[in-house]
Each structure stands twice: as C-alpha cells, then as structure tokens.
Amino acid sequence: MAAVESGEEEFLTTARELLAEAADQVDVVLAAEAAHARVLHSVLDDWLTAGGGDAVRIRLLCAHNTRHWDLVQRQLAGERPSEVRVARMPLLAALIVDGRAALVSADSASGRRASAIRDPGVIETLQTLFDGIWQNAVVVSERIDLGDRARREMVRMILEWLRLGVTDEVAARQLSVSVRTYRRYVADIMTLLGAHSRFQAGVRAAELGLLAVTPAHRVPQPRR
C-alpha cells in the first residue's frame, strides 16, 4: 500500500493509471463531496467518454448527496450502460480495478488521506465490503424528477406524512383535496420511485435523499 500525495493532480494521475489497466471490471465509490471525489468523477467521465469502458463492467456506488447525474444519464443512454446504485456510506472516494488494484481516499481528523493499494489481502477486503454494500443498495435507473418547486414541496410533504403514518383522510384534508385524489398522488409517487408499497416508497425516498433529516419540531404536522 503506497500513500498518494493529497494534491488533486497526483490523485488524478494515479486514477488514470489504474483505469488504463482495467480489463474486466471497475468498481467506483463516490460517497464524499471532498476534492478527491470530484477528481475521481472527472477522470472516470473522461475515461468513459474516450471509450475506455467499452469492454469493462462498471459499477458506480454513490451516496444520495453525491450522485453525478450527468455521468449517470450518459451511461444509462449508452450501449453498455454502467450499473449505478445509491446507499448510505461513510465519506469515501474509491476506485477498485479488476479486484487487484485500488485507489482509496478518505477524510480523517488529520486531513485527507489517499492510498494506492495492490496488496491482495487488502484488495479482497475492500472488494468484499463493496459487494456487501452494493447488494443492499438502491438501483438507480434514471434521475428522479419531481417537477417544479411547488410539486417538489408537495411530494416531499406527502413522503413525510407517509413516513409518519398520517392517515389518508388527515393528509387529504391538509392538502384540501379528496381522499381519492390524495391516494392518486401517492400512487403517482410510488410509480415515480419504482416502489411497490408505501413502505418501500419511504425507504427508497430516504436512500435517494428526497427526505431531508428534519428536526422533530419542524416536521410538517397536518391539521387534524
């Protein structure tokens, strides 16, 4: 395991060198807003645009607040789209190539640290961790578009009420619509999220960052 200088240029150079070696599979973690996450996104995008991933399986694992939709949508539109999933993860930027080499960057109390890794034992551990998170992560097939600002606010309000277990009757009264109309809203939201139940819609919304962490005193409380 070799330390990589914390500067963006050194990290970018190392990432390019590893991607140039890729033959079968590239696993990427973009779970931080740190500089290295942005650099990794940039070098990956350049590599894909140049056709570097044409014969390589690419799995992109993101945290809900670090999804790079331009990259995602270009890949989904390609002949061999990358696989993209979202999960809650520690702040981390990582690149694993063919299960034999990796570049990892993480923020710590002493600052940002990056390491280029080729030790088989360490790589195996990283790959196992990635596969475990990947298995339980939310599949992203397209960007979730909630519409204009007014609709986004309404959708988030409904999602919060679903999470809180507010009855349809109470929620419909708050929106000044019929229960039937409210239930149609809920059905549309479930379809948008690709959910088969209200519970699954809540889970998926939380994973995709559509539900902000709201202090208890600020949670929208409908009139009863």
Q: Check: CB of residue 56 under 8 Å from CB of residue 114.
A: no
Residues 18, 47: Cα–Cα separation, whole Å:
11
Residues 128, 132: Cα–Cα separation, whole Å:
6
As given in the structure block, the two tokens for residue 7 are: 């500067």
As given in the structure block, the two tokens for residue 116 are: 């280029």
* pLDDT attached to residue 217: 35
* pLDDT attached to residue 128: 95
- Average pLDDT of the chain? 77
Q: Check: CB of residue 158 under 8 Å from CB of residue 189.
A: yes
Q: Is the pLDDT of residue 214 over 50?
A: no
Q: What is the pTM of this model?
A: 0.63
Which superfamily, per CATH, for 2-139? Endonuclease Chain A (3.30.870.10)
* Topology at the third CATH level for domain 149-218: Arc Repressor Mutant, subunit A (1.10.10)
Please name the amino acid found at residue 34: A
* pLDDT attached to residue 1: 56
* pLDDT attached to residue 162: 83
Q: What is the pLDDT of residues 62-101, one digit of tens each?
A: 876 555 555 666 666 655 667 888 777 777 889 999 999 9
Q: What is the pLDDT of residues 106-148, one digit of tens each?
A: 766 666 778 899 999 999 999 999 999 998 887 776 555 555 6
The residue extents of the domains of the chain are 2-139, 149-218
Please name the amino acid found at residue 122: V
* Strand pairing report for 93-97 and 25-30: antiparallel
Residues 128, 171: Cα–Cα separation, whole Å:
44
Q: What is the pLDDT of residues 36-72, one digit of tens each?
A: 677 887 888 888 888 877 788 989 888 765 555 556 6
Q: Check: CB of residue 159 under 8 Å from CB of residue 193.
A: no
| CA 152, 156, 161, 163 torsion-angle sign | positive
Average pLDDT over residues 201-224: 58
Residues 58, 124: Cα–Cα separation, whole Å:
18
Confidence class for position 23, pLDDT limits 50, 70, 90 = very high
Ramachandran sector of residue 80 (left: φ over 0; alpha: ψ -120 to 50; beta: rest)? beta
